[in-house]
């Protein structure tokens, strides 16, 4: 169902781009905007993992430096039938984690020192399984597509604002141009956020299956929610556009489970995982490295 909802949202965003392009600049303006957006996002697609990891000062670790973390990721990757991703640690006291990379063969998972210091082995396994689920679901690719479409909309709106939208297909004239210029980027942002929330639910479900213990992830989410409210993540606060990457929203100025949130409410996610644990037999968990 989540995959279906994501497809519907992507289709809606595509339709929004087409309609705005025709209203603001005709077919020529739409093609130009999509061309610029594609160029920018292709660059981001190939370099996003390096850019984000560098932004957070992440350092790659091996089994010598962090045997428990790397060993857990290796076991979980094998269970998920994924190539072993690179493992990074970020020096920040806020417990959190994210995955990046354009595909499973070029993936990386990152955990903060706060996560390693405050969570149990079982909870860390649940979090890493969630991040590997993002890798397996190719969520980075999905978010790149949405960024491309949203970028096209933003460029169309900017062009209309500075140069004036002129199209014979616009039945509302100047009023239609103003409305599309203001509302189209906002609508694109809302769709992006809805897709991000949908992918989080999907990653929770698959992550619980990978680690074999939905309650491990549920416990981790509850602890992360509590601690993230009390502990700052300075890098994230200065780079809010990356907030959707993390398993828990790292920003303090958050809205819970509304249109402007990149994450579902933690209580909803925990409730879903507890229902999952109660309704299905749990798989054998990975052994402790």
Q: Do 136 and 128 form a contact (C-beta atoms < 8 A)?
A: no
- The answer to whether 195 and 14 are in contact (CB under 8 A) is no
Q: How far apart are CA 224 and CA 230, in angstroms?
A: 10
Sheet holding 97-100, edge to edge: 59-60, 86-90, 108-112, 97-100
Whole-angstrom Cα Rg for the chain: 20
- On whether the CB atoms of residues 252 and 230 are closer than 8 A, the answer is no
First-to-last CA distance in the chain? 35
CA atoms within 13 A on the CB side of 153: 28
Is residue 27 flagged as an active site residue?
Answer: no
Q: Which of 27, 63, 123, 131 is catalytic?
A: 131
Query: What amino acid positions are annotated as catalytic residues?
Result: 131
């Amino acid at each position: 169902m989540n995959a279906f909802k994501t497809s519907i949202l992507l289709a809606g965003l595509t339709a929004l781009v087409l309609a705005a392009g025709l209203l603001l600049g005709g077919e020529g303006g739409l093609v130009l905007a999509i061309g610029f957006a594609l160029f920018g996002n292709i660059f981001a697609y190939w370099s996003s993992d390096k850019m984000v990891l560098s932004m957070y000062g992440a350092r790659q670790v091996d089994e010598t430096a962090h045997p428990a973390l790397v060993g857990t990721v290796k076991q979980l990757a094998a269970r998920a039938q994924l190539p072993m991703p690179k493992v990074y640690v970020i020096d920040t006291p806020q417990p959190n984690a994210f995955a990046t990379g354009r595909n499973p063969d070029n993936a990386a998972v990152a955990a903060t020192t706060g996560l390693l210091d405050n969570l149990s082995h079982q909870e860390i396994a649940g979090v890493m399984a969630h991040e590997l689920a993002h890798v397996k679901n190719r969520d980075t690719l999905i978010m790149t597509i949405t960024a491309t479409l949203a970028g096209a909309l933003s460029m169309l709106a900017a062009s209309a604002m500075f140069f004036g939208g002129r199209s014979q297909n616009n039945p509302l004239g100047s009023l239609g141009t103003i409305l599309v210029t203001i509302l189209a980027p906002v609508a694109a942002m809302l769709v992006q956020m809805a897709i991000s929330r949908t992918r989080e639910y999907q990653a929770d479900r698959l992550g619980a299956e990978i680690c074999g213990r939905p309650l491990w992830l549920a416990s981790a989410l509850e602890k992360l929610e509590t601690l993230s409210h009390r502990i700052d993540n300075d890098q994230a606060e200065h780079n809010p556009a990356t907030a959707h990457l993390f398993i828990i929203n790292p920003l303090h100025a958050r809205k819970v489970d509304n249109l402007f949130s990149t994450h579902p409410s933690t209580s909803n996610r925990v409730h879903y995982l507890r229902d999952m644990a109660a309704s299905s037999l749990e798989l054998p968990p990975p052994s402790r490295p």
